[in-house]
Chains A and B, each alone.
Chain A
Amino acid sequence: MLFLILLIGSNLLAQEQTRITPEQKLLVRVDGLSCPFCAYGLEKKLLEIKGVKSVEISIDDGEALLTLDKDAEIGKETIEKEVTDAGFTPREIVYLDKTTLNEH
């Protein structure tokens, strides 16, 4: 009986996590992000990519966290081009799975 309760509980928890983070997330680390004008500029260029729903920029960490449409397929080259066009050097692009996301 206890086993059954735990099993149902863990299934419910897994379903809840899926509902909370249905979108894909992508973390972009850049060099040269140094002022709010840069941050909003990077946000603007990344938002112009089809499939990007929202962008959160951290100036201090030099990072942009992208939320993508559920079925969006965006290649690293596309991201790199927009980051470069925005005036920055792309350092790292990480597609976050749910496990990784929970760590952020």
Chain B
Amino acid sequence: MSTKYFCLASLLVWGCGTEKEWLFEENIIIPEVFPIGIVLVDNDFIVSDPDNNRLVRVDGSGNILKEWGGFQRPMHITEINSTVYVPEFISDSLKVLEEDMIKSFDIDASFDAPAAIDINESTLAVADFYNHRILLSQNGQISSIGVECHEDGKLYYPTDVKIYRDKIFVADAYNNRIQVFDKTGQSVKIIGWKEDIAVATGIEVFDDQVFVTDFYGNRVLVYDLKGRLKKVYSDQFDGPTDILVTKDHMYVANYKGGYIAVYRKE
């Protein structure tokens, strides 16, 4: 086979080597911080540090630039236009950090240990840990996804949630999987059930890929939207709880290790 035809065949099968991989770059150690959630704001990280009931702003060298205390176990946070949305595990409430001010963020629903929040346009989703459900607010209309159990369509201690296009991706932590729902609450896909995920603590969906942190497996698993496993990263993690992906970088918050693992796309 000539080089030209070989490359053409490769292009069809493998994208001719264009599928880039994530390469480890560095660990950003943050002294005395045990991160659960992570977002990026103006090239700095904002990290939830529930052990110390605070959010901290951290630069790329691990220096704490600022901290906001007084939270009650802030968990998986999200950011929209530099405003950070914070679920408080202990107080069963939502807060916002906006221009240095911490305010209440009320929706017409009650929680038992909200573990994560995500917002996409007019849709808001909260992982309601002890109620084993996702609370969904669409244009102000509240609905609920999931009940406690192990079958498809049911949830068992959800810890993270992401809205991507018209689907809701849930880290169904103690069902050891990712579950995908449509906005009517119908389960449309189960991801990761073959990979023996120990505890699926965090999830990110970016560029049609699903990234999952496995807390006890000390892994990050990457799937396509059809649930096909693409890659497993396992060399740099110590209790990973959250993952943030941009065009060029992948950042993994490690609760036990107290650092952010940084990967660069090559």
Contact = CB atoms under 8 A, between A and B. Distances in A.
B255 A36 contact: yes
B201 A35 contact: yes
B201 A41 contact: no
Interface in A24-79: 34-37, 40-41, 43-44, 47
B149 interface: no
B39 to A, nearest CB: 18
B130 A36 contact: no
B90 A37 contact: no
Interface string B229-243: 000000000010100
Contact of A41 (B113, B199, B215, B255): B113
Given A44-B113, A87-B157, A35 B216 contact: yes
The DSSP consensus for interface residues of chain B is: loop
Interface residues of B, number: 22
Interface in B56-76: 73, 75
B68 to A, nearest CB: 19
A37 B115 contact: yes
Contacts of B241: 35-36
A41 B129 contact: yes
B89 interface: yes
Which of A35, A36, A44, A87 has the most CB atoms of chain B within a 10 A radius of its CB?
Answer: A36
Contacts of B36: 36
The DSSP consensus for interface residues of chain A is: helix
A40 B90 CA distance: 8
B157 to A, nearest CB: 7
B125 interface: no
Contacts of A34: 199, 215-216
Contact of A47 (B90, B129, B255): B90
B90 A43 contact: yes
Interface in B140-185: 157, 159, 173-174
A23 B34 CA distance: 29
Contacts of B157: 37, 87
Nearest to A59: B256
A77 to B, nearest CB: 21
Closest 9 CB pairs of A and B: A40-B73, A40-B89, A35-B215, A35-B199, A37-B159, A44-B90, A36-B255, A44-B113, A41-B113
10 contacts: A35-B215, A35-B239, A36-B34, A36-B255, A37-B157, A37-B201, A40-B89, A40-B113, A41-B129, A44-B73
Given A36-B239, A40-B73, A43-B90, 12 more contacts: A34-B215, A35-B216, A35-B239, A36-B50, A36-B255, A37-B159, A37-B201, A41-B130, A43-B73, A44-B73, A44-B130, A87-B157
Interface of B: 34, 36, 50, 73, 75, 89-90, 113, 115, 129-130, 157, 159, 173-174, 199, 201, 215-216, 239, 241, 255
